[in-house]
Structure 1
Amino acid sequence: MSTAPMHHAADKMTSPTRAALTRTIVAIVIGNGFVAYDFTVYSFSAVLIGNLFFPSSNPAASLLLSLATFGAGFVMRPLGAIMIGHIADSHGRKAGMTLSLTLMTIGTWMIACLPTYASIGPLATVLIVVARLMQGLAAGGEIGPASASLMESVPYQRRCFMVSWRGASQGAAAFAAALVGAGTTALVSPAAMQEWGWRIPFMLGGLIGPVGWYLRRRMPAAASEKPVRFMPGRMFAEHARPLIYGILCMAAPSVSIYITVFHMPAYLVRTLHRPAAISLLTACLSGLAILVVTPLAGRIADRLASRKTLQYLTMTASLAAAWPAFWALTHGVSDVVALVIITAFVALAVNNAGAGSVLMLEAFPRHRRAAALAVIYSLGVVIFGGFSPFLVTWLINLTGNPMVPAWYLMAATGVTLVALNRFPEHSSAERVPYGGRVAG
């Protein structure tokens, strides 16, 4: 006998008030957007940071070292996932999210204020790597608690739409980071940009941090569950299948966003020799596409019987579109056509944050789901996404083939399609019932 009616009855009895739900959503989305902005704005300044903190007679070597530092931030993400995810599962979602926001704010202000290599020598290189590691720790622990909080705040039939706003906030962050980068480049002279202008995007991000922290501190708190002793080995032993296939499912989304959004400006300028202004405009439009399309995809996913259906459709379409899209980019299409191609591909390939995250969250009990999703996300991004700009740049330099990003995207999408097919999905009657409150 189906238990779905019982779930709906529980939803009606325990749903939070509209005002409390609104405060929760605003606090989570703004805070997550800030974390994503601060972690990724580095990628849009990679060329300048490479010159200032990793000086070399070879510009390509400076860029590679800068991109390696961008990837180094991902090394700390699994540790952040375990540490902050456990805090969110045992002491409340709000506690975990507040800690991640605090760490990100500190790391961002470090980058904004650091002296360059010309001023303090190798110590500047060490300190910027430390700041990136701190940002990685924060980013690794953010996704799980934020997604779990959003999912637990609404009934079953609205989960994908609600969680999709976490993904949409990352699109907003990419849009804001690229817009700030484009605006700074347009308004500040190249000499001033080299001297101090590159710090502006980080300072703006640092100023947003206290706002997000304040909003999260004011999130409505619910009664915390009894603290559970966290043992990573036991979590992996009891939930090995969803954890392993979940990590593999992260291949396509993580590679797609880090190649087509965050690395695209450097690729367009360095490899395809397009104007810097056009490349940053591409990042703006891509972020805007994610912001608009992701909630629409989440609403559609809620209407389908399986959380996998929409993911199959969009990933198969993006797999088919990757090669033609990059072929057109590398064969001299106009800048306007290039903007349209990249924006359309991003809208197709990076829109499953709602359905994908909910599918994974529903595979775990409530006392494990924040840490589990954080581990899946952080390890998936480390393995597949974080170093993809570095690897793609290195492979292009090695082979001279500008189509490398297309093959990389296609391989990652193939891995995710296989893993998605094997990921355990429960029927609606088997899923963990809606908890009714956001843990505080």
Structure 2
Amino acid sequence: MSAIDAIAAGRQRPFDRGDAKTLALSALGGALEFYDFVVFVFFTKILGVLFFPPDTAPWLAQLQVYGIFAAGYLARPLGGIVMAHFGDLVGRKRMFTLSVFLMSVPTLLIGLLPTYAQIGLLAPLLLLLLRVVQGIAVGGEVPGAWVFVAEHVPRGRVGFACASLTSGLTAGILIGSLLAAWINTHFSPEDVAGYAWRIPFLIGGVFGFVAVYLRRWLEETPVFAEMRERKLLARGLPVKQVLAHHGGSVALSMLATWMLTAAIVVVILMTPTLVQTSFQLPAALAFHGNSVATLALVIGCLVAGLAVDRFGAAVALLVGSLGLAASTYALYSHLSAGASAHFVAWYALAGFFTGVVAVVPAVMVAAFPAPIRFSGLSFSYNVAYAVFGGLTPPLIGYLSQSIGGLAPAHYVAMTCVIGIGVAVYLIKRPLPPL
């Protein structure tokens, strides 16, 4: 038995209260950090008004703010690679805590930023800088969190561990959506423009520091601690080892991440806007459906994680991909037929099957050996998310104009075929147990 196999064998123990505490604190911190990252998108309209010259055309101001939002995604690979490098060399916990701190500071500062009327062009430049720091933070947070929880729990519970963290991340989206809806309901447009838009950023910054404090109570993962004791840590540049010796795992992880980005970006983030523009649904109904679908996603993630532990990642990915394709077609076909009476129910079903995204991290953490796991997962996930996450919105916009309202469903289904292909590959060539 190799030293790495001995470490894995040592994790064959029952799931205990310490594991539950670790998962709960990790999921809570992940929810607060992802809330900080996505709340920006719920206030793009007012940020476009406040942070650019008043004579800027509304569409141009909106485009510029979306560009600043996208900068956060483009910064993810840089943050992920750098933080993963140190996560593989000096410890998972340190980077896990640093990432939430790096997210909290810029979120709080965005809430305190002077506007264009106060400091001119410096305002959008500062907004861009803070958004880039947020992107660096989330690039290290998400892969680091998956590795952290996966290496803490016993064998046979990795699927649920990754799913609980993913569920927490999606809960952060729901919190941001609900808070944005509350602010726009309880404040006049003048008050929102005057000061109320700052509230969610200030709250996010404060909650982020709470998450930093809570993570003080977490311990280093047993896998990393034992690798350090046995002197099995990676040397040099872990990402160089990943690219030189684990190209197949990188490709597999990137393909699975492609499906993940399509599910989250199209079904959860873009659908509320698409159903308004393509099918003329009222905004209130669109965002009500989105809140219900996101809640269903939180539940779907947990179900998918339990399925991974019970039936294996390959089977869970296969069934989840089929369910996501079918439910997305059902949602958009229902709308294309001119019916909206059951929109919320169909959207909730699609949201539930979007929970297949929780299977993806379980695949990725098993695809890379422990000494370079953080770097391998982070490189694959962040590069794929930056590419596919950045290309998806304009591509869906173009396809919707050229081939009609079913375009989003066609795209999601295409990525589900990729997910099915990954699942079939894993059935024939199973990954080693974590």
Structure 2 length-normalised TM: 0.88
Consecutive unaligned residues of structure 1, counting only runs of 5 or more, are: 433-440
Secondary structure (helix, strand or coil) at the match of 2:219 reads coil
1:266-287 deviation digits (Å, cap 9, x = unpaired): 3344554433333332232122
1:67-117 deviation digits (Å, cap 9, x = unpaired): 232222111111111111122222111101111111111221232222233
Structure 1 residues 106 and 391, CA gap change in structure 2 (3 angstroms): farther
Tell me the CA shift for residue 320 of structure 1. Answer: 3.2
Q: Which of 381, 384, 388 in structure 2 is aligned with 1:384?
A: 388
Structure 1 residues 275 and 203, CA gap change in structure 2 (3 angstroms): farther
Consecutive unaligned residues of structure 2, counting only runs of 5 or more, are: none
1:319-338 pair list within 5 angstroms: 319-334=325-340, 337-338=342-343
Q: When the two structures are aligned, how many residues end up with a matched partner?
A: 422
Structure 1 residues 206 and 7, CA gap change in structure 2 (3 angstroms): closer
Q: Which has the higher contact order (CA 8 A, sep 6+)?
A: 1
Give the RMSD, CA atoms, in angstroms: 2.8
Tell me the CA shift for residue 174 of structure 1. Answer: 1.4
2:163 and 2:301 in contact (8 A); partners too: yes
Residue 414 of structure 1 is matched in structure 2 by 417
Q: Which of 338, 357, 361 in structure 1 is aligned with 2:361?
A: 357
1:6-34 deviation digits (Å, cap 9, x = unpaired): 89963356x78x45334322321111111
1:13-412 pair list within 5 angstroms: 18-54=16-52, 58-221=57-220, 223=225, 225=228, 226=231, 228=234, 229-304=236-311, 306-334=312-340, 337-353=342-358, 355-393=359-397, 396=400, 399=402, 401-412=404-415
Tell me the CA shift for residue 138 of structure 1. Answer: 0.7
Range with greater deviation from structure 2 (48-57 or 216-225)? 48-57
Secondary structure (helix, strand or coil) at the match of 2:342 reads helix
1:247-298 deviation digits (Å, cap 9, x = unpaired): 1211111121112222233334455443333333223212211221211221
| Structure 1 Cα separation of the partners of residues 427 and 91 of structure 2 | 27
2:87 and 2:94 in contact (8 A); partners too: yes
Structure 1 residues 320 and 23, CA gap change in structure 2 (3 angstroms): closer
Tell me the CA shift for residue 349 of structure 1. Answer: 2.5
Tell me the CA shift for residue 400 of structure 1. Answer: 8.5
Structure 1 residues 387 and 45, CA gap change in structure 2 (3 angstroms): farther
Structure 1 residues 126 and 405, CA gap change in structure 2 (3 angstroms): farther
Tell me the CA shift for residue 215 of structure 1. Answer: 0.9
1:20 and 1:220 in contact (8 A); partners too: no
Residue 438 of structure 1 is matched in structure 2 by none
Range with greater deviation from structure 2 (18-27 or 104-113)? 18-27
| Structure 2 Cα separation of the partners of residues 337 and 218 of structure 1 | 45
| Structure 1 Cα separation of the partners of residues 386 and 6 of structure 2 | 40
1:329-369 deviation digits (Å, cap 9, x = unpaired): 345433x522222121121123341x321221112111111
Structure 1 residues 425 and 64, CA gap change in structure 2 (3 angstroms): farther
Tell me the CA shift for residue 46 of structure 1. Answer: 2.5
1:266 alignment partner AA: T
| Structure 1 Cα separation of the partners of residues 274 and 413 of structure 2 | 17
Structure 1 length-normalised TM: 0.87
Tell me the CA shift for residue 146 of structure 1. Answer: 1.0
Secondary structure (helix, strand or coil) at the match of 2:11 reads helix
2:257 and 2:360 in contact (8 A); partners too: no
